[in-house]
Amino acid sequence: MALYVQKYGGTSVGSLERIAAVAERVKLTRAQGHDVVVVVSAMSGETNRLLGMAQQLDPDATRREVDVLISTGEQVTIALLAIALNQCGCPAVSMTGDQVRIHTDSAHGKARITHIDTEPVRAQLAAGKVVVIAGFQGRDEHNAITTLGRGGSDTTAVAVAAAIGADECQIFTDVDGVYTTDPRIEPKARRLSTITFEEMLEMASLGAKVLQIRSVEFAGKYRVPLRVLSSFADGEGTLITYGGERMEAPLVSGIAFNRNEASLTILGVPDRPTVAAQILGPISDANIDVDMIVQNTLGDGSADFTFTVNRDDFRRARALLESTATELGASCVQGNESIAKVSIVGVGMWNHPGVARTMFRVLGEHGINMQLISTSEIKISVVVDEKYLELAVRSLHDAFALDREPQEQPMGG
């Protein structure tokens, strides 16, 4: 007998029919003799709908109240799923993040889980119940409801799995595993039967939304056995593996992208030490994450400084940068909200300079201009105009022959 945490995302619980289908799947797992904790998302579209309402009343609504609002989506789903489970003869009980006692810090909208009390969940399991937990939400030390950032139910699931020592955390979604790239953009994308933790971490951090980045971090920290599978069809899905060298490490194993980015440039700042800290200080004080950073020294004692942020933070970041620009006597601030970041990922590419050359050549041949570039041992990212995103993903997928098994792929060069 095993203990499973099964997480079902928005599309998987998007209608009453889907919820009934999930109940059947959970019931089947129970019938095989396993204990099950289920974590659910809000029904698809619901979180956006709720956010839209807050936005209409006040684009700068306090984050505390926005969290109270958007956490309701998951509360609806836990109740509906528990009702469906009880109705089909599978005893179940729903629990909000607060009832489970998922403690978080107070960073509303992107709170981090600090601790989970396992007692309330264990007590229900011991009573023979399936426990249905609301994903995406927790509570902080002031008793306020917090949310974990978009896609945060993945993180709830992995954190709960770590806390209760589950045998496997199964992320059921609308694709049947992790692919070489988003199969909705590139139909030739190939499902991976396994992916290393390092690759998954990189893919998630670079925008592959199939798993929220923090869920992967959590899984790595506690070595949670983690699998991505389809809630619509049976199959093995993709297992995230830890440690151990891969026999056939391909140079490039996947392509990730992120549309939710925007860039900001401050032109003509004094070229002297501490200026970068002066520019980024207020941004980080405002809890805005900065991704890529590039500085160009112009040779006349001044420099241009560009960085990228989440598109949701663009307005706030721009306002902060404008006041820094005045303080520093900079010439102006420019913003671009229609960019996208495309990244190639692979643990095998760190000592193959030919990979970068292939990437740049392929983008160039398709007339795609690279606005920013950043590299690490296991990825190369470029920022391009958003309208070229799909073309970039598909042409790179082709160039690195990702539709083929690693043994058949050509070496980059």
**DSSP conformation letters of 78-110:** HHHHHHHHHHTT--EEEE-HHHHTEEE-S-TTS
Q: Is 184 annotated as a binding residue?
A: yes
Is 173 annotated as belonging to a binding site?
yes
178 is in an annotated binding site: no
121 labelled as ligand-binding? no
Phi, psi of 266, rounded to the nearest 5 degrees: -110, 120
Instruction: Determine the 3-state secondary structure of 264 from DSSP.
Output: strand
Q: Is 112 in the site for ligand ASP (CB under 6 A)?
A: no
Contact 276, 307 (CB under 8 A): no
Q: Does 151 bind Mg ion (CB under 5 A)?
A: yes
Q: Would you say 158 or 344 has its CB closer to ligand ASP? A: 158
Residue 14 near ligand ASP by CB under 6 A: no
The least CB distance from residue 267 to ligand ADP, in Å, is 35
Q: Per the structure block, which two tokens stand in for 155?
A: 């993180």
Contact pattern for ligand ADP over residues 11 through 30, marking x by CB under 6 A: xx------------------
Closest by Cα among 158, 134, 154 to 146: 134
Which residues, 238 to 297, sit near ligand ADP by CB under 6 A? 254
73 binding partner (options ligand ASP, ligand ADP, Mg ion, none; Cβ < 5 to 8 Å by kind): ligand ASP
Residue 47: name its binding partner from Mg ion, ligand ADP, ligand ASP, none (Cβ under 5 to 8 Å by kind). ligand ASP
**Can you read off the two tokens belonging to residue 107?**
């960073």
The site that binds ligand ADP (CB under 6 A) totals a number of residues, namely 20
108/150 with CB nearer ligand ASP: 150
Binding site annotation covers 10? Answer: yes
210 annotated as ligand-binding: yes
Q: What is the CA radius of gyration of the chain?
A: 23
Contact 255, 180 (CB under 8 A): yes
Out of ligand ADP, ligand ASP, Mg ion, none, what residue 179 binds, judged by CB under 5 to 8 A for its kind, is ligand ADP
Please tell me what DSSP assigns to residue 170: E
- What character string, x for contact with ligand ADP (CB under 6 A) and - otherwise, covers 203-242? x----xxx--------------------------------
Cβ 46 to ligand ASP shortest distance, Å: 7
Handedness of CA 174, 384, 262, 215 (dihedral sign): positive
Q: From residue 5 to residue 24, what is the string marking binding to Mg ion with x (rule CB under 5 A)?
A: ----x---------------
Query: Would you say 10 and 44 are in contact if contact means Cβ atoms under 8 Å apart?
Result: yes
Among 32, 91, 165, 184, binds ligand ADP (CB under 6 A): 184
| Count of residues interacting with Mg ion (CB under 5 A) | 2
Q: Which is nearer to Mg ion, 151 or 250 (CB)?
A: 151
CA 154 to chain centroid, in Å, comes to 9
Per CB under 5 A, 152 contacts Mg ion: no
Strand-pair category, 302-310 with 254-270 = antiparallel
From the list ligand ASP, Mg ion, ligand ADP, none, pick the one residue 136 interacts with, judged by a Cβ distance below 5 to 8 Å according to partner type: ligand ASP
Asked if 9 touches ligand ADP (CB under 6 A), the answer is yes
C-alpha 12/C-alpha 5 separation (Å) is 15
Q: Is 101 exposed, middle or buried (0-12, 13-18, 19+ CB in 10 A)?
A: middle
CA 84 to chain centre: 29
Angle CA(249)–CA(226)–CA(220) in degrees, nearest 5? Answer: 75
CA distance 392 to 377: 21
Q: Contacting ligand ADP (CB under 6 A), which of 19, 27, 30, 41?
A: 41
- Binding-site members for ATP are 7-10, 173-174, 179, 184, 209-210
Q: Using CB under 5 A, list all residues that contact Mg ion.
A: 9, 151
